[in-house]
Every structure is written in C-alpha cells, then in structure tokens.
Structure 1
Amino acid sequence: MSKTLHSAAATVASWRAAAEGGDVDAAVACLSRDVVLSSPLTEQFRLEGTDQLRDFLTSAFTAVEDIRFHTQTGEGDAYALFYRARVGSQPFEEAQLLRLDDEARIKEITLFGRPMPALTALMITLGPELARRQGRRGIAALMRASATPIHAMVTSGDRRVVPLTRPAAQRT
C-alpha cells in the first residue's frame, strides 16, 4: 500500500473516531484548509474552510447524538461512509461522500440524510444553533420558527398518513 493510500485510510479512520466521539478538534485535524461541505438540506448552504467547519461540527455534534458508523467503502481519494444516530428522539441515518486531497486531508464533504422527520428535526436544532454561534440570535429564532411547522407536518404525516400507503399485508 502506498503512503498516500495508507494516509487516506488513516484520515478516514480518524474522521470516523472523531465523529463517534464528538471530538471537534480531532475532526478538524482531518480537514484540508480549503475544505468545502455541501448541506444535505439545501443548495443554498455551503461551508468553506476549517473555521466555518469548526463552528458547524461543534453544532452538529450537539444536535446529532450517538453516531455509530456501520458501512464504509472507497479507496484512493474518495470514500463513502454511513452511520446511524439520533436527532432528539428521531432516528437518523447519514451518508457522507468524502474526497481527499494529495496530502490525504478531507477537501470535500457531501452529506445525504434520512428519514425526513430527522432532517426536519435537524433543521430546527442545527440551523439555529449554528446561527447563535455566529452571534445571529434573530436569525436563529427565525430559522426555528420557520422550520417548526414543517417538522410538525412531516412528523405527523410520517406517523399517521405514510403508514396508510403500505401494502395491506404490512399494516399493523
């Protein structure tokens, strides 16, 4: 195995351990200085650089609890990681596409999450927390107020309406 591949594997292992332990400093140590993160919630939200990622990870590790990775695939400069966790009382699963630079540091993170009730729970916890960390309390309150009805509708629909669409043999 070449040094770069070994370093890439070590970076990914360190990233996983940092996320599972909620260790922001260890996670940031895995990142390139010009890292870019694409949100799973909107195209309007991108984070760039380690300073922005530090704030995001601090908020994310507060909002997303009990992270446990269950699957990893990839090699060279691209890896896909999958974990299960909780956002409040909602079960949450996330896929992360990581791209590494020539120094085996993470340069790009693209996130994908499910199910929808967990994503809306994330909207009302992570977004406002990140805005508060940036000193934008008014925006934090606005984000929470605008996302709360969406979360209520999605959660209610998931519990009451979606089960009605299951095949008759699966309804309980």
Structure 2
Amino acid sequence: MPDTSPSAATTIARWRAAGERGDADAAVACLSPDIVLSSPLTGQFRLEGSDQLRDFLASAFTAVEDIHFHTETGQGDTYALVYRARVGTQPFEEAQLLRLDDKAHIREITLFGRPMPALTALMTTLGPELARRQGRRGLAALMRASTAPVHAMVTFGDRRVVPLTRPSAIRT
C-alpha cells in the first residue's frame, strides 16, 4: 500500500493557511494524534491530543485575529514560523516551533509571543474563552477577573512608564 502521508512542506503550508483563515478543523488535520502544545503564557498549561487542541485552536482563533505569516524556516522535522496579528487592539507577534512526526504531521508545538501587552490581552481573552467552551462559566469569570488587573498594569506600564526609560538624545 503506498504511503499517502503529506510531505513536511505540504503540512506546513496547510498549517499556515489554516491559521490565516482561522480554521481550527483544518489546523487539527495537520496534527499528529499525540500532539503536545506548550503555552507561551505559563508552564502550568500543556495540551495533549488533537481533541484538546481543537478547543484550544477554536478559542485562539477567536482571540487572535488577522494572522499573517511572514517568516518560515526549517528542514527535516523541525520548522519555525512567525506571524503578525492582533489581540483586540494590541498588535501581536508569535513564533511557533513545530516538530513533525515520521508521517509529516505536527507532533509538538512550542509558542513564543510578544509584546507583553498583547500576551496579557491574550491571557484575558483566551483563558476565559477556553473555559466557556468547556462549559465552565464560573471558571471563565474567575479567569477574566484575575487576569484583567494584570493586563491593565502591563498596558499602563507599556504606554506610560516604559517610554520614560528610552535613552534621550545626547545634548552637547
């Protein structure tokens, strides 16, 4: 029987297209059944298996909008992709480290995001959305209430305090 597995290039192209369309089902089709995702927000959050990833991706595509990949590099079974998007009004950039299995399905995803205000905006949106999808409305409200002050502090600091630390022009 011939091997009908996709090539690495095909999987990566499908993954990118699914992300840019916000299509969780198409993204899940790129995944290995034993997929593992490591969160950029906390070491306490790790997803395993395509069922967990389906809910996560559906929630993520609600929170992260206008995804446009701009960089791709890799070979063999390891690729890095980078995109720009927005979370609410915050510009967001994420790097994804993808490792593929022997059938060219994604078996491991490690995410890295910036800037901090976008990450905290993501935290206040994604966590509650994921909890709501799981039917845990009380937890969704608690997550929103506990993350909103962190987001407010980070956003204030980024807009008002951090600019004060930029080097000024040297006066002679």
Would the TM-score normalized by the shorter structure come out above 0.5? yes
Residue 24 of structure 1 and its aligned partner are, at CA, apart by 1.1
Aligned residues: CA RMSD: 1.5
Residue 30 of structure 1 and its aligned partner are, at CA, apart by 0.1
Structure 2 counterpart of 1:158: 158
Structure 1 counterpart of 2:82: 82
Q: Could you tell me how far apart the structure 1 residues matched to 2:82 and 2:135 are?
A: 32
Report the TM-score when normalising by structure 2. 0.95
* Structure with the larger helix share: 1
* Structure 1 unaligned blocks of 5 or more: none
Letter in 2 for 1:147: T
Q: Could you tell me how far apart the structure 2 residues matched to 1:10 and 1:140 are?
A: 37
* Structure 2 unaligned blocks of 5 or more: none
Q: Could you tell me how far apart the structure 2 residues matched to 1:56 and 1:80 are?
A: 20
Q: How many residues align?
A: 167
Q: Does 1:98 align with 2:98?
A: yes
Structure 1 counterpart of 2:50: 50
Residue 169 of structure 1 and its aligned partner are, at CA, apart by 2.6
Q: Deviating runs (4+, > 3 A) in structure 1?
A: none
Q: Could you tell me how far apart the structure 2 residues matched to 1:14 and 1:169 are?
A: 47
SS in 2 for 1:129: helix
Structure 2 counterpart of 1:129: 129
Residues 37-88 of structure 1: CA distance to partner in whole angstroms, max 9, x if unpaired? 0000000000000000000000000100000000011000000000000000
Report the TM-score when normalising by structure 1. 0.95
Q: Percent identity?
A: 82
Q: Could you tell me how far apart the structure 2 residues matched to 1:96 and 1:58 are?
A: 17
